[in-house]
Amino acid sequence: MKKSQSIACGPKPKSGLYVHIPFCASKCHYCSFYSEPVDTHDTVAAINAMIAEFGRYNVAMFETIYIGGGSPTCLDEKLLLQLVEKLASLQRDDAEFTVECNPGQLTRQLAYRLHELNVNRISIGAQSFLQKELDFLGRAHSVESTIQAVNIARMAGFTNISLDLIFAIPGSTLNSLRHNIDSALQLKPEHISAYSLSYEKNTPLQRVCRTGEIVVIDEETDRNMYELVIDELTAAGLEQYEISNFACPGYRCRHNLTYWANTQYIGIGPGATSYYKGNRYTNIADIKKYVQMVESCASPIAESHTSTPIETACQTAVLNLRRIDGINLKEFKTQTGFDLKELFGESISQNLESGLLKENTDANGAESISLTRKALPIADTVLCDFSMV
């Protein structure tokens, strides 16, 4: 590894910052994100290394900051607050600052201190409001603890709360999903993310699936469940702004919009990724090695890739299409240098004819191409058509 140096120059003011906390109290059965048990590592050394890694960048102020994991709230409260206080000095006045919280780990004291330190968005991993489903997923919290976490966040002054939900859990039905949706809506969150359960490589869930011990939800039921999610959440007044994300007006997650716009962001911590000036970096996914590298002034970057102009255009198209607003033709050309219709003419024509894409013109005359409602349940199929030329 080369000695650590500032990467080019700092990010522009509208960049995002992601901080990956690679610790959990226990690993969920479905999770493929890099994390390790919090009680087996020197968390102080790890957090200090993250702060030191951040010093490698000649940093401007960030428009969005997102502390995720893992589980940030499994850290000692003083240690987490030390990190938050450091990051709070780097946010713009109008920045969105999110901290992920596991139900049962958000105390009143922590919630109040986070709010005092200008964290203004809390994302709570509810996943389900049925205890048997939480147990199946390997979640350590209870249904009641999710409700308590939302109430604690509200009392602390948070007015922007997001809930995560998982559907298509083996044994679930449309009725049980409707119960989960209704339970989530009763808490009046400003934002809901809803994902179909995926069986990621090298997870306990995938291994159990291979043995045939569980019956995976079939494709048709999975699709019907997704349709129910859309119908129920939009009927409740939330706007679907991305394939899996819904928000009250004015509460779209600005940090995730950075990803879907394919604009730059910095990621710090073990296993974190960054995208800067067309380069993608991935840090080593090993806590001990990460700390050793940073402490010895070596770069923790394990992989890097410089995208070609064509690759950047394809990545931008795929990510933009995840948004319900789709691809703005003018913005795409400005960002990538390519005319969307010239670059993907055949794919666009075929999907328009199949009713999977639609052309739009807004009140200002801006043209865009987006997925149709018909395409949403099979979005990955359409996105594949834009992944290469």
272 occurs within a structural domain: no
Give the pLDDT confidence score for residue 40 in this predicted structure.
Answer: 87
Distance in angstroms (rounded) separating the CA atoms of residues 64 and 54 = 15
Q: Confirm whether 299 is domain-assigned.
A: no
> Residue 169 domain-assigned?
yes
- Choose the final residue of a domain: 207, 231, 260: 260
Same domain, 221 and 336: no
Q: Does 168 lie in the same domain as 73?
A: yes
Phi and psi for 251 in degrees, rounded to 5?
A: -120, 25
Both 111 and 38 in a single domain? Answer: yes
Q: What are the structure tokens assigned to 329, written together?
A: 């033709």
**Residue 107, in any domain of the structure:** yes
User: Per the structure, how many domains does the chain have?
Assistant: 2
CATH of the domain at 335: 1.10.10.10
Residues 338 and 216 in one domain: no
Domain final residue pick, 236, 260, 284: 260
Cα 314 to Cα 322: distance, rounded to the nearest angstrom: 13
Question: CA angle, corner 252, sides to 256 and 382, nearest 5?
Answer: 60
Look at residue 201 and tell me if it is in a domain.
yes
pLDDT of residue 183: 99
Q: Is residue 341 part of a domain?
A: yes
DSSP state at residue 217: P
CA angle 377, 379, 383 (to 5 degrees): 175
Question: Do 255 and 359 belong to one domain?
Answer: no
- Contact at 8 Å (CB) between 37 and 26? yes
Are the C-beta atoms of 190 and 247 separated by less than 8 Å?
A: yes
Instruction: Please name the helix (run of DSSP H) or strand (run of DSSP E) that holds residue 124, with its range, or none.
Output: strand 121-127
| One domain, residues 348 and 237 | no
| Residue 59, pLDDT score | 63
Same domain, 151 and 69: yes
Any alpha helices (H) in the chain, and if so which ranges? 43-54, 77-88, 108-116, 131-137, 143-155, 174-186, 204-211, 219-235, 254-260, 287-295, 309-321, 329-336, 340-343, 345-353, 379-384
Report d(CA 379, CA 246) in Å as an integer. Answer: 16
Last residue of a domain, one of 260, 286, 309: 260
pLDDT in tens, the chain (389 residues): 444 444 444 444 468 999 999 998 877 777 767 788 888 889 999 999 999 998 777 666 899 999 999 899 999 999 999 999 999 988 888 999 999 999 999 999 999 999 999 999 999 999 999 999 999 998 889 999 999 999 999 999 999 999 999 999 999 999 999 999 999 999 999 999 999 998 777 777 787 777 877 888 999 999 999 999 999 999 999 999 999 999 999 999 999 999 999 999 999 999 999 998 889 999 999 999 999 999 999 999 999 999 999 999 999 999 999 999 999 999 999 999 999 999 999 999 999 999 999 999 998 999 999 999 999 999 999 999 999 87
> Locate tokens 């995840």: which residue?
322
pLDDT at 1: 40
Read off the pLDDT of residues 191-233 as tens digits, 9 standing for 90 and up. Answer: 999 999 987 777 777 877 778 778 889 999 999 999 999 999 9
Q: 39 with 188, same domain?
A: yes
Q: Does one domain contain both 248 and 333?
A: no
Q: Is residue 135 part of a domain?
A: yes
User: Does residue 106 lie in a domain region?
Assistant: yes
Q: What are the tokens at 163?
A: 């809930």
* The token pair that represents 285 in the structure block: 């996914």
Distance CA(162)–CA(261), nearest Å, equals 21
Q: Which two tokens stand for residue 173?
A: 């039905």
pLDDT 10s digits, 88-112: 988 888 999 999 999 999 999 999 9
pLDDT value at position 14?
61
Integer Cα distance of 387 and 360 in angstroms: 22
Residues 70 and 210 in one domain: yes
My answer on whether 174 and 250 are in the same domain is yes
- Examine the domain organization and report whether 23 and 164 are in the same domain: yes
Residue 68 belongs to a domain with what CATH number?
3.80.30.20
Residues of the domain holding 53? 16-260
Residue 2 burial (C-beta neighbours within 10 Å; 0-12, 13-18, 19+) = exposed
